[in-house]
């Protein structure tokens, strides 16, 4: 089944000693030893992020692979075959706009759509969450210290907008509401740190978390007013 897991925060990127979310994602692949491929585009393929992924995967019974565009694993015309051979595509955080720009240049946006259609599980945190939606709220254009966020586009496998780190930064909720009210983003869903949104065939199927008392929020704008529907996440512990 075509599945996407969009993390508001958490996983190996943020929770060194908490493996709940990553173990949950890998379990969804329903493979004895799934091939998990980390995509580091949003961080500029930072070596430190790559090393963090590889070290974290030692805690799981998986085959750890990488797709780093600055050090591509295969020739460009073999990228589609490489991606379709994976069981899980796990996209890291960073700059969503740069991620989308590079994916389009390499044709990865269409390759990932094909992978989704063929049952490869797609997952990611922060930028790696926003990318699967029509769009989301991002600090892609923000200088250090700025609390002004912008709308960015994704590849549109999930309708609507996405806001990760909903409880992680004091200004993010207000910025998301601003972009919704001015029409820069469509109605959508926000997720707190440690929360994962599970989509099957483009529809929200479940909300899970790596700690207790965590939430996601369905968000719509009516007559200029933002309405939030709180969704309690199922604790995986």
Q: So where are the chain's domains? A: 3-235
Q: Tens digit of pLDDT for each residue in 122-154?
A: 999 999 999 999 999 999 998 877 778 999 999
Band (pLDDT 50/70/90 cuts) for residue 194 is very high
The whole-number average pLDDT for the span 39-56 is 98
The highest-level CATH class for domain 3-235 is alpha beta
In 89-111, which positions are buried (b, 16+ CB within 10 angstroms) versus exposed (e)? bbbbbbbbbbbbebbeebebbeb
- Scan for tokens 């393929």, then name that residue: 45
Catalytic site positions: 126, 165
- pLDDT at residue 142 in the model: 85
Determine the pLDDT at residue 208.
98
- The predicted model scores a pTM of 0.96
């Amino acid at each position: 089944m075509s599945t996407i897991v969009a993390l508001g925060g958490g996983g190996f990127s943020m929770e060194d000693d908490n493996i709940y979310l990553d173990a949950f994602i890998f379990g969804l692949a329903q493979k004895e030893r799934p091939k998990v491929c980390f995509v580091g585009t949003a961080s500029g393929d930072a070596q430190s992020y790559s090393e963090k992924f590889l070290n974290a995967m030692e805690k799981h019974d998986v085959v750890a692979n990488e797709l780093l565009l600055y050090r591509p694993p295969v020739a460009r015309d073999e990228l589609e075959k490489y991606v379709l051979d994976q069981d899980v595509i796990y996209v890291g955080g960073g700059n969503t706009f740069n991620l989308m720009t590079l994916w389009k240049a390499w044709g990865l946006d269409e390759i990932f759509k094909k992978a989704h259609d063929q049952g490869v599980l797609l997952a990611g945190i922060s930028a790696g969450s926003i990318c699967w939606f029509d769009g989301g709220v991002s600090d892609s254009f923000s200088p250090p210290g700025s609390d002004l966020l912008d709308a960015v586009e994704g590849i549109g496998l999930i309708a609507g907008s996405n806001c990760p780190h909903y409880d992680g930064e004091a200004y993010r909720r207000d910025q998301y509401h601003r972009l919704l009210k001015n029409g820069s983003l469509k109605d959508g869903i926000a997720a707190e740190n440690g929360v994962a949104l599970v989509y099957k065939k483009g529809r929200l199927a479940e909300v899970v978390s790596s700690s207790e008392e965590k939430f996601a929020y369905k968000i719509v704008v009516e007559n200029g007013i933002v309405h939030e529907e709180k969704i309690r996440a199922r604790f995986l512990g």
